[in-house]
Chains A and B, each alone.
Chain A
Amino acid sequence: MDRWRRITAEQRTLPGDDVPVVLSVQGTHGPVIHAVSAAAAKRGVRSGARVVDVQAIHPDLHVEPGEPAREVKLLDQTALWARRWCPWTVRDGLDGIVMDTAGADHLFGGEAAMLRDMATRFKMQGLGARLAVAPTRGAARMLARYGPAGCICGPDDMEVALAPLPVAALGVEDKTVQLLQRLGLKTLGALMQVPRVALMRRFDRVAADLNPLVLLDRALGREGAPLDAPPEPPRWLARARLAEPVIDPVPHLEGLARDLSAQLAKAEQGARRLRLTIYRVDGEWRSRDVALAQPSREPAHLLRLMEGKLEGIDPGFGFDLLTLEALVAEPLALHQDHLDGARDAGRDVAALLDRLTARLGPQKVTWSAWVESHLPERVERRQPALRGEGEAVPVLVRERPLRLLEPAEEVAVLYAVPEGPPAQFRWRRVAFRMVRHEGPERIAPEWWRDKAGTRLRDYYKVEVVDGRRFWLFREGILGDGRGGDPRWFVHGIFA
């Protein structure tokens, strides 16, 4: 929810605080609620309910599409960011982060001060957080979700702190929670009172991760639950710290590129995306990105890509720190192309793609991809050259013009022949007289894609007096009930 608020606030005005907002995801039977705002929670909207049901109760409900996969990604990144407090952090489930702060809290002045620091910093990020400290991982996650806010629990009062929590805090399956409640075990305290043998017998077929007894043991520290923190992803970053602020980044780039390529070479990696950032003396920073078609770590090539990008960068009163970072790197081993020293042609083309894209923009440099469609303007799709490989030209059965006008241009018919192309037509203020023609080739609208009421097209290949050949079409036929008189267009030019 916080992620949605933060992203939406950048693009449009957020709904007021009193408007209930929910994020929906697609469920088995239509959309279900994935996350709720504070106002919605106050009204009793719970996640997991179907959107239509809740909309019937609260007609003013504001529904937005949720993005669970990106939320998980954000949480992963946040877990890495949280390593500012301790070196072992890992995402816990879909909505939590577990940190092993043993031995790290004194750096922040004790556990209470550390929790305050965390709360402030999460708030600065625009994220809400519920925090708890406990001697074991299980106890901490239960207290954070169900306990009082900012709860700090020592090793001695663990049982006391956990006792009032509901059994749902264990994180077991819904049916297990239901079963425990039917048995009258509503809180963890009640569960602790039950003899272990009885619980073990009841849940001996449940997996260890979902077994209430095992989870309770882990929470109380009777069974170990070590933290498996993922290693930090490697960063390829070259820095240039300057003694005095300067205005022109160009003289420092070469050293940066060489430094970065040395780092990449050590790890046998090649950069696919680069970012140059300047940190200005007034605290601002500016960055420029370039993308590469193939992984590369040649300093000269990286420099050439950056060249055109620096013109628009605003150095302000100067900057004293430059960084060149490889945002995305891919494995790139040293290899010899040819024994005779000839260069690999594909590598040359990839370098050319990089330069063209860096200067002209990704949408201007394209390969063609082919779409199965009857309409000629839909057959060819342009995909940015850095995104993928081009496809070879397909074999067409019907003859198509070599040049296609996009969009098709309307022609004024001067003299029409019934059931045929215009004998004379005027296009771009020039009158053409038809000599020979071929057609019609009828192309019907694609009902699965076009909107209702689209008219069919009858295409004619028309040769005019001086030998130029055009591709004309008539949109619709007289009396098809989809508009007035059919209109004529020129859509292409044959060689």
Chain B
Amino acid sequence: MNADSPIGQVISLSAKRLVQDVPAPQHGGAVLRDVLSGGPFDAAVTGFVLACLPEGDKPVLWISDRMSRRENGRLYGAALGHFGFTGKVLRVEVSHPRDVLWAMEEGAACAGLAAVVGEIHGAPEVLSFTATKRLALRAEAAQVPVWLIRSGDHGALSAARERWRLTSMPSRRHAYNSAAPGAPLWEAELFRARGRAPGVWHAAYDGQGDPKRGADRLRLLSRSGDGPLAADHGRAADAARR
């Protein structure tokens, strides 16, 4: 984080206290994780998931339904390198969420994949609690991380082991051009989790770091802001109660 960033200053203060509680999501093993989009047309979710994907030469299965492609656009393969992803992506583009879930289940049972990512727009009926439970069990059985990107859905019931909500924030300052948007910054809210405390953080992709530290591509920074710290803890506590 740049020293001149208004957010970075605050984070360096709070980092001592909170940062050890916040392992990045990829350390948590192979479980099902939901990622919800905070607003429409927001690609923060995609960036967050990409930054969390494990490295290696195994391919990633990326499945999307027609509505999410129409709403948020297709995943643009040429840009994946910006988030440190260099592997291969096996794309499955189907029209119905039912097929997305079927393909995700097939993928979650296949140990040759690095991860499975599914995108479903809205809250269709087939994406029920039972369906997510099946996915979660499969992912844990085959040790394949499964990510479910749900755009246009405001927290329907899910059996995911971790549920995140991602929202874009005004980007960081551009190094050379003050009028241009800089590196992306997201607000990552973990509002339901098993085995760890929920919370709200600022997430940034740390692409400039040491390339060998592949696992730490994502930086989660405790969200505090300029106000009193108590307010921040209040929000995190709210999230935990939800």
Contacts and interface: CB of A to CB of B under 8 A. Distances in A.
Contact of A467 (B88, B179, B185): B185
B171 interface: yes
Contact of B106 (A355, A390, A402, A436): A355
B92 A376 contact: no
Contact of A360 (B42, B81, B92): B92
A405 B73 contact: yes
Given A393-B81, A401-B79, A493 B41 contact: yes
B10 interface: no
Nearest to A436: B181
Nearest to A400: B79
Contacts of B177: 438
Nearest to A462: B181
A444 to B, nearest CB: 19
A386 B137 CA distance: 29
B41 A359 contact: no
A443 interface: no
B171 A463 contact: yes
B197 interface: no
Contacts of B110: 348-349, 351-352
Contacts of B231: none
Interface stretch (B17-25, B43-51, B125-133, B220-228): B43-51
Nearest to B173: A436
Nearest to B91: A366
Nearest to B178: A436
A428 B99 CA distance: 27
B1 interface: no
A414 B50 CA distance: 34
A75 to B, nearest CB: 40
B193 interface: no
Nearest to A390: B88
Contacts of B82: 396, 399-400, 402, 495
A365 B81 contact: no
Interface residues of B, number: 58
A425 B72 CA distance: 18
Per DSSP, chain B at the interface is mixed
Nearest to A461: B181
A400 to B, nearest CB: 4
Contacts of A494: 43, 181, 184
Nearest to A351: B110
Given A365-B91, A385-B90, A436-B181, A493 B72 contact: yes
B94 to A, nearest CB: 6
Q: Chain A interface secondary structure, helix, strand, loop or mixed? A: mixed
Contact of B168 (A382, A462, A466): A466
A38 B117 CA distance: 60
Interface in A354-410: 355-356, 359-360, 364-368, 370, 376, 379-380, 382, 385, 390-396, 399-406
B39 A403 contact: no
Contacts of A348: 110-113
Contacts of B186: 495
A402 B107 contact: no
Given A437-B179, A466-B39, A403 B184 contact: no
A340 to B, nearest CB: 14
A353 B34 CA distance: 25
Contact of B181 (A344, A396, A469, A492): A469
Contact of B76 (A359, A403, A466): A403
Interface in A447-476: 461-463, 466-470
B83 A495 contact: yes
A367 B91 contact: yes
Nearest to B180: A438
A399 B78 CA distance: 10
A461 B58 CA distance: 32
B89 interface: yes
Contact of A402 (B61, B79, B103): B79
B211 to A, nearest CB: 13
Nearest to A344: B112
A103 B57 CA distance: 62
Contacts of B185: 467
Contacts of B106: 352, 355-356
Contacts of A366: 90-93
Contacts of B240: none
B85 interface: yes
B99 to A, nearest CB: 6
A463 B80 contact: no
Given A364-B93, A380-B77, 6 more contacts: A367-B91, A393-B88, A396-B79, A438-B174, A438-B180, A467-B185
17 contacts: A360-B103, A367-B91, A368-B89, A370-B78, A380-B76, A392-B86, A393-B78, A402-B75, A403-B75, A404-B75, A436-B180, A437-B181, A467-B167, A492-B76, A493-B41, A495-B43, A495-B186
Minimum-distance CB pairs A-B, first 9: A495-B47, A348-B112, A345-B112, A438-B180, A403-B73, A400-B79, A463-B181, A404-B76, A467-B168
